[in-house]
Structure 1
């Protein structure tokens, strides 16, 4: 009688589950681009480096993305998604307290600047790299900054600020300053006072 092959057991004695599908080429390209673009800058990273890191071919890249510029825009859309995830997570901890929502995000940001490899905001960095208004990467970055401004002004309004636009703009200036100064002076520089300065600005602006 013919014996059927038995599936090898896992080290813990359980049967293995269904084999996971390997990541698609487009996903590997996107992840590799995200890592390289953030660490080294978008302009500094060539297509050859991306495909080598992803373990794919150039035709695979161009089947998924029309150009490096479009890949850069995709990277920034992914980055923006992660930004809002963090911002909304901080807000969710204080659902009825807009002041605490802002300070929670600013506190978390100051802590992240001390993590290895921190290079500020990828969206801000893209604006510096690409001054051309119609560049796909810049358009994604600028759209995000406008949304952030609207969100901060709305939070300032909910706080009861005398001039919500002025407070929202002030908070955004602090945010952008933290992204840049932390890259130059590290977590022990001005960014360590980020939440405290924001709190003082809010308290001076609210009725």
Structure 2
């Protein structure tokens, strides 16, 4: 396995000092900044919108890995692109035409990603794999942090890795949900190259971020 990229989820950050938190993650060696966007409709929580992403953008040059848990998703693609997202990841259930949604993200000069919930079959990525730069496998049901890892999703990560290998393209395989030192090893063994983690990164405060990130990399 080559370089493992760590994408800390700011959902677990101190929201009163988000800019400083992102600067601390940057210094601690994060590869990406994972931005969880929830609408209280597609998932049972409300987080942040484009103005916050725009406000945070000057605090790091690291890519913003924006996961849109909103439906319908299409009306918000342009706003998040303009706010500073580098990659935009969407759920196939979040709009009537996932192919068109991914095309639009590419037209906006952003990296399109597709995300599968635990109950979404792996074959949902097959018709659109040629359009994406990232496949995200959720190992919890989306909506809030701190949930337990769903072990059955390891087979889905393996299946995604096989499909990606057959394309011959450089497509990131990201995993999000219940990640700690133990489960990070499991998902990396299954084929993941990008790890989203919240609690496991932010535990102990900014002075611990570098060690926490290093521990997840293994």
TM-score, normalised relative to structure 1? 0.29
In proportion to residue count, which structure has more strand? Answer: 2
Structure with higher RCO (Cα < 8 A, 6+ apart): 2
In proportion to residue count, which structure has more helix? Answer: 1
TM-score, normalised relative to structure 2? 0.28
